[in-house]
Amino acid sequence: MNNWFECKVKYDKTLENGMQKKVTEPYMVDALSFTEAEARIIKEITPFISGDFSVANIKRANISELFFDETGDRWYKCKVNFITLDEKSGMEKKTASYMLAQAADLPQALENLIEGMKGTMADYEIASITETAIMDIYPYAVDEEPVDRPKE
């Protein structure tokens, strides 16, 4: 299971008209701890940002699943309610789960979510899909060398 952290990076961005503007952009990284999340985001974005930058904020993200689509350039947060039956009372119980779908637009995000959920045996309903400001997502790669861990 992945531990997702949302990291906000603050830096001076050069706009199309040549002006400099201070921006804060969110990124997602898969890490074991806040310390590792900070080290990973610094490692991942350093090649793409010239000049000084800082990690302004790190928080745990409650994301259970990711659906990648290389043709999309935006990330959509999807709230999916899994429906179960409470055996004692016989009432329906809804358990919310949050997922991210990469897509070019909202209809494509819905399509990617439905495609990703095809193998699901549980009953579910899609409660909401909203566009996020997330710029990029960095999953953990097995071939990466661990960050800030002692070598044996």
Tokens of 6: 């949302």
Q: What is the CA radius of gyration of the chain?
A: 18
The Cα angle at residue 145 between residues 33 and 37, in degrees rounded to 5: 25
The H-assigned helical ranges of the chain are 34-45, 106-116
Tokens of 100: 């991210």
Q: Is 30 exposed, middle or buried (0-12, 13-18, 19+ CB in 10 A)?
A: buried
Band (88; pLDDT cuts 50, 70, 90)? confident
The H-assigned helical ranges of 7-146 are 34-45, 106-116
Amino acid symbol at 128? S
Per-residue model confidence as pLDDT tens digits over 95-123: 999 999 999 999 999 999 999 999 899 99
Whole-number Å distance between alpha carbons of 152 and 149? 9
Sorted by where each begins, the domain ranges of the chain are: 4-61, 65-131
The pLDDT score that the predictor gives to residue 144 is 52
Residue 151 has pLDDT above 80, yes or no: no
